[in-house]
Amino acid sequence: MDNQLVKQPNNSNGIQKALKIAVAKGDGIGPEIMDATLKILEAAGARIEPEFIEVGEKVYLSGNTAGITKESWETIHNNKIILKAPITTPQGKGYKSLNVTMRKSLGLFANVRPVAAMHPYIKTNFPEMDVVIIRENEEDLYAGIEHQQTEDVVQCLKLITRPGCEKIVRYAFEYAKAYNRKKVTCMVKDNIMKLTDGLFHKVFDEIAVEYPDIKSETQIIDIGSARLAARPEDYDVVVTSNLYGDIISDIAAEIAGSVGMAGSANVGTKVSMFEAIHGSAPDIAGKNMANPSGLINAAVMMLSHVGQTKVADKIRNAWLRTLEDGIHTADIYQDDISKMKVGTDDFADEVIARLGLTPEKLPVSELSKGSGEINIPEYKRTPQKKELVGVDVFLDWQGTDPNEIGNGLMHIDAYKLKLKMITNRGVKVFPEGMKETYCTDHWRCRFVALDADAKSAEPVYQAINFEQIVDLLAKLNMKGFDVIKTENLYEFDGKRGFSLGQGE
């Protein structure tokens, strides 16, 4: 079943009704830039009805560590669209980031950040740049699953899921199609992380073939981000996982010079949130100095997301024309280019005065020329045959000679399961390790049941059952080995579901 992200409600005559949206005025400059933005939305004829919600500093300081009231959650659940001004998270322990809470609990899987040069009104070395970074928002290293395992070693789990990859990659192609973008670039590091980043890449290739009119390419994240920084005009839509996306979206905004002007969307299949990239700027709060452009651009994204692309274009074009006419707030004022320095409120009035006009030099916004429609199909799991073939047992051992622990483990007699190798930080140290390899107190010992009669060059594994693993662990424990964790080894449809050790 297709799932269009947000449907604009119709009344009985088929005419679009005003869409109720949850609006958070935020802290610091938040209320000023929100008032300016809402004024423009109203003047442009946006069919929205704001319902204000309480989030941020006041809520935190009232003793609510999440920074959001129960009533605000209800409004969000009912309205499904949030326009949010920046908030101030009070310093000190115990306050949870509202953005992270919203992202995780509302399933906002895609962070969308369009970054376009506004040359010469905003200084940049890349006047042709016009990139949209689409970052996966819910998984990867940000799951927050971290453990200290030994005195020397801590670990963080990188979780990449097929439904997560399918949603974000599909969103990137649907976005490109909906807004007439020509190319989607996938950035991964699957030369190293063959399973996790490999899955992202594989899903990208699977979905790309469904969009023959959109060019697709994959780049390794290190060279990809270097090229993005050197030649951003070569990129159109970039899709990537959470951590890489976090980094490259800041690189992109920085080199475009537009951190203060960019809006972003956090999109989910049920709820979506739109906001400026910048923070609450307490240093200039209440002074009518703040630039409302970031929030205006976030509102433009919101309108196109809910299908009001014509109004979105009208606002974006009036805003571009205001910049071109040299009407600038203090943060972007330049003596040689600017003509008039204005405050937040006057800037909004100047944009309103230009509604209906288009820019003469900067690229005209044409969101309404695309379909604007984004469909994310529901995830369907393909059943696979899963077979247990071994176990990686992680030991805390403070010795230094891998042969000592290796020879000790070789003599453990657990039905079918035999020690195949030991790695330390992923490098094989037993059997036949190199004496130069530095070893910590964290030893990964791989026990598998190999089919000794198999003729293939690749190891052929025999199926085992979980009781055999329990038996092995009991024996290790009895012999005094300090087991800190285990990782089962599976084959899925006969394919190895685990990476080999370096040198295995």
275 binds ligand NAD per the rule CB under 6 A: yes
Count of residues near ligand NAD by CB under 6 A: 19
Which one of residues 279, 343, 408, 459 is an interface residue with ligand NAD (CB under 6 A)?
Answer: 279
Which one of residues 68, 87, 252, 429 is an interface residue with ligand NAD (CB under 6 A)?
Answer: 87
Which one of residues 21, 24, 169, 281 is an interface residue with ligand NAD (CB under 6 A)?
Answer: 281
Q: Kindly indicate which of the ranges 15-23, 145-153, 278-286, 391-399 contains the residues binding ligand NAD, using the contact rule CB under 6 A.
A: 278-286
150 binds ligand NAD per the rule CB under 6 A: no
One-character DSSP codes across 293-311: HHHHHHHHHHHHHTT-HHH
Residues facing 57 on adjacent strands: none
| Closest approach of ligand NAD to the CB of residue 118, in Å | 15
Which one of residues 164, 294, 406, 433 is an interface residue with ligand NAD (CB under 6 A)?
Answer: 294
111 binds ligand NAD per the rule CB under 6 A: no
Long-range contacts of 345-351 (CB under 8 A, 24+ apart): 345/32, 345/35, 345/36, 345/288, 347/36, 347/291, 347/292, 347/322, 348/35, 348/36, 348/37, 348/39, 348/40, 348/292, 349/39, 350/322, 350/325, 351/40, 351/296, 351/315, 351/318, 351/319, 351/322
> What φ, ψ does residue 246 adopt, rounded to 5°?
-60, -45
Q: Which residues, 6 or more positions from 14, have their beta carbon under 8 angstroms from its beta carbon? A: none
Which one of residues 283, 436, 453, 467 is an interface residue with ligand NAD (CB under 6 A)?
Answer: 283
Q: Kindly indicate which of the ranges 75-83, 136-144, 283-291, 375-383 contains the residues binding ligand NAD, using the contact rule CB under 6 A.
A: 283-291
Q: Which single residue is written with the structure tokens 């579901």?
A: 497
* Cβ count near 357 (within 10 Å): 15
Q: Which single residue is written with the structure tokens 């307490």?
A: 282
Which one of residues 290, 299, 414, 421 is an interface residue with ligand NAD (CB under 6 A)?
Answer: 290
Alpha-carbon gap, residue 468 to 459, rounded angstroms: 20
> What φ, ψ does residue 487 adopt, rounded to 5°?
-135, 115
Alpha-carbon gap, residue 468 to 470, rounded angstroms: 5
| Paired sense of beta strands 272-276 and 81-84, if any | parallel
Give me the 252-271 binding string for ligand NAD, x by CB under 6 A, dash otherwise. --------x-----------
Closest alpha carbon to 161 in 136, 191, 188? 136
Residue 99 vs 317, nearer CB to ligand NAD: 99
| Closest approach of ligand NAD to the CB of residue 283, in Å | 5
Residue 2 vs 283, nearer CB to ligand NAD: 283
- The residue nearest ligand NAD at its CB is 279
Which one of residues 103, 170, 278, 328 is an interface residue with ligand NAD (CB under 6 A)?
Answer: 278
- DSSP-derived secondary structure letter, 382: P
Alpha-carbon gap, residue 123 to 432, rounded angstroms: 58
Q: Kindly indicate which of the ranges 104-112, 224-232, 272-280, 397-405 contains the residues binding ligand NAD, using the contact rule CB under 6 A.
A: 272-280
284 binds ligand NAD per the rule CB under 6 A: yes
Here the tokens at position 198 are: 């490999």
Q: Kindly indicate which of the ranges 45-53, 87-95, 222-230, 353-361 contains the residues binding ligand NAD, using the contact rule CB under 6 A.
A: 87-95
Which one of residues 6, 22, 86, 268 is an interface residue with ligand NAD (CB under 6 A)?
Answer: 86
Binding site for ligand NAD (CB under 6 A): 29, 86-89, 99, 260, 275, 278-284, 290-291, 294, 331
